[in-house]
Amino acid sequence: MEEKREHSRRWYDKDPILKEALELLRLAPGDKRDEAAEFVIKLQEQVAADVIEKVYDIVSEYHGKGRRWYDNDPVVMKAVELLRVAPKETQKEAALKLLTSLENNDGGMENIKE
């Protein structure tokens, strides 16, 4: 019961698509995770510059020190933080593309790099 309450506080738990996409990302093998993270980082173009600066501050502060599953990988951490601060529409679009690629287990992220 305690574990369920702790997980319900994560920012992405509110949206079932985001939740599933990030769970699959967490479980993905390293190379696939890195490719997915690189895709999400491309979202920078859709996020304001001041928000991006805040993300980089968070990455600098928490890298290797946080308790979240993505805090120990700087690329994945930056990608997840960018996704967190992206507009809801962008979050949903990225999550759907991540889900499609990760669930298909197609060995590459070509279909989400568009």
**Continuous segment of H or E residues that includes residue 80:** helix 74-85
- Confidence label for 98 from pLDDT (cuts 50, 70 and 90): confident
- Write out pLDDT tens, residues 36-58: 888 777 776 667 667 777 787 88
Question: Measured between alpha carbons, how far is 78 from 99 in angstroms, rounded to an integer?
Answer: 19
- Write out pLDDT tens, residues 11-26: 889 888 888 888 888 8
- If one counts the domains in the chain, the total is 1
- Residue range(s) defining the domain that contains residue 86: 2-112
Residue-wise DSSP of 18-54: HHHHHHHHHHS-HHHHHHHHHHHHGGGGGS-HHHHHH
| For residue 67, pLDDT beyond 60 | yes
CB atoms within 10 A of CB 32: 19
Cα distances (angstroms) measured from residue 14 to each of 50, 53, 55, 63, 80: 25, 25, 21, 25, 15
Q: Which two tokens stand for residue 86?
A: 């992206």
- Confidence label for 7 from pLDDT (cuts 50, 70 and 90): low
Inter-axis angle of helices 74-85 and 30-41, to 10 degrees? 40
| For residue 100, pLDDT beyond 70 | yes
